[in-house]
Chain A
Amino acid sequence: MSTLILGIETSCDETAAAVVEADGVVQSSVVSSQADLHARYGGVVPEIASRRHLELVAPVVRAALEDAGVALDDVDRVGVTQGPGLVGALLVGLSAAKAIAWARGLPLVPVDHLRGHVATLYLAPDPLDPPFTCLLASGGHTLLLSVREREGYEVLGSTLDDAAGEAFDKGARLLGLGYPGGAEIDRLARDGDPEAYSFPVARVAGLDLSFSGLKTALLHAVRGLTETDLAARRADLAASYQRAIVRALAGRLRAAVERTGHETVAVVGGVAANSELRAALPDARFAPLELCTDNAAMIASAARFARAVEPPGYLALDAYPSAPL
């Protein structure tokens, strides 16, 4: 049997484990989402997320092994998200992963969550070959990347304030929609007129992005409306708001391609699931829908291209909250 990697991911509100072969074949991918738990707060509550990760981490790892039809004996290394993310949440997965690897004398591969999103593209059946220009857009991050090798990437630009997924979540809250907001806005926008409102997209130098002004514009538009008017215009507002975000992302991605010269374009992260963004970039390679949001198959995939640490070298490993510059 080929080399097997057990991946574990607990950086935000998904507890996930997966078994992936060294050649990129996903044998199993289990994701236990806590979205329902956080919905009443309109966003992720760190302490609640961490408590839930502890309850779920062992059952989710067991389920991933079972779904793959393998035992821990068959696993050759453990890949785990080290950061960025919520530290309390990361530490649950990292501590469990260290313990599993140490107990079995296995190497551990600490994985950067953002590299994990990009590594979704390297999974079978159709792994993407660098070089390519990549947009990574999620609830926590929005980055434009030049990817020349599977081991890493160069950051060309990023959001100066809210992440694209965060802009969707905040917009959804202003419109009185549920959490997570991206899917809700996407659904509602299908019934609305994307040109009904003209929301400004901030012009920022270089390849960076900014979404805070857009959120404010939506706030002003909503403020002037009565409850009845809001109900009548909600779909138009959602469609116009989504159009503005998609335009900003697609525009920056095109500018990034001009900079890199890498004609191949890819989109990963939770926002890659957005139907309008997918339609706006017909030639781009998108992460498969089920692997857009956080999962552990992407972490195991990234572990194929990151340095493995032999025991006991990883026993003091700590999580990191922010993306390294």
Chain B
Amino acid sequence: MLVLAFDTATDVATSALLEDAEVLGERASVAKTLLEDVDALLRQASARPADIEALVVGTGPGSFTSTRIGLAVARGLALALDVAGAGVSTLDALAAGAEGALPVIDARRREVFVPGAGAVAPEDLDVAGRLCVGDGALRYRDVLEAKGAAIPPDDDIRHLPRASLHARLVTAYGRVDEIEPIYARAPDARRWRG
């Protein structure tokens, strides 16, 4: 089964094309150019969009706008290709790529997303002796290391929520329209002043 997976929740948008468990290709760029990566992945594999049989999409948490770009792309692809899909948490994917590690995603406003806690200040994390990965771990390296965390070098691949990891975590596919983003934070109720 040809599976297209992608995650746009963080600053680095990842994508992967898989034939069952075999990764045919992987790319990384930014959310707004995700479809360029997808197009390139298919060309490399000599596949056409219509060959895609299932979608896997990262559901965050991360940047609201950026997470939504991935989900809107997934909804558009599912509508056009009539394929099923699955949502996988960006935190779960990060954890799957670094055994035993605590995934930490930058939540802006001096907070981070970690599993089961919503947005918290990095200073409040209990990370002594733990391996921390993700863009939140990188941004707050100083704070977390001071609390006893171990953080791989900046260019370590374990900091990326690689879309091939999402694909491996899928247990069942369903309707893409029902895949919900994980916002993990209420919207700012400020009116738009145009």
**A44 CB within 8 Å of chain B:** yes
List CB contacts (< 8 Å) of A31-59 with chain B.
Answer: 41-48, 50-51, 54, 57-59
The reply to whether A92 and B191 contact each other, CB–CB distance below 8 Å, is: no
Complex contacts, B38 vs chain A, CB 8 Å:
102
Q: Does chain B have a CB within 8 A of A98?
A: yes
Interface size on B, residues (CB 8 A): 35
- With A58-B79, A315-B35, A316-B36 known as contacts, the answer to whether A45 contacts B72 (CB < 8 A) is no
Number of residue pairs across A and B with beta carbons under 8 Å?
A: 117
Chain B residues with CB under 8 A of A315: 33, 35-36, 39
Does B75 interact with chain A (Cβ within 8 Å)?
yes
The B contact surface, by secondary structure, is helix
* A110 nearest CB across to chain B (Å): 13
- A92 neighbours in B (Cβ, 8 Å): 68-69, 72
Is B110 among interface residues, defined by CB-CB distance under 8 A? no
B185 to chain A, nearest CB (A): 10
Determine if A91 and B69 form an interchain contact, defined as CB atoms under 8 angstroms apart: yes
Residues of B within 8 A of A (CB): 32-33, 35-36, 38-39, 49-50, 52, 64-65, 68-69, 71-81, 176-177, 181, 183, 187-192, 194
Partner of B192, one of A46, A58, A95: A46
Contact sample, A vs B, 23 pairs, CB 8 Å cutoff: A41-B189, A43-B191, A44-B191, A45-B190, A47-B188, A48-B189, A51-B187, A54-B181, A58-B75, A59-B177, A87-B65, A91-B32, A91-B69, A92-B72, A96-B75, A100-B76, A100-B79, A102-B35, A102-B39, A103-B77, A104-B80, A315-B33, A316-B33
A88 B65 Cβ-Cβ under 8 A: yes
Q: Is the interface of A mostly helix, strand, loop or mixed?
A: helix
Binding site for B on A (CB under 8 A): 41-48, 50-51, 54, 57-59, 61-62, 72, 86-88, 91-93, 95-100, 102-105, 139-140, 163, 166, 311-312, 315-316, 318
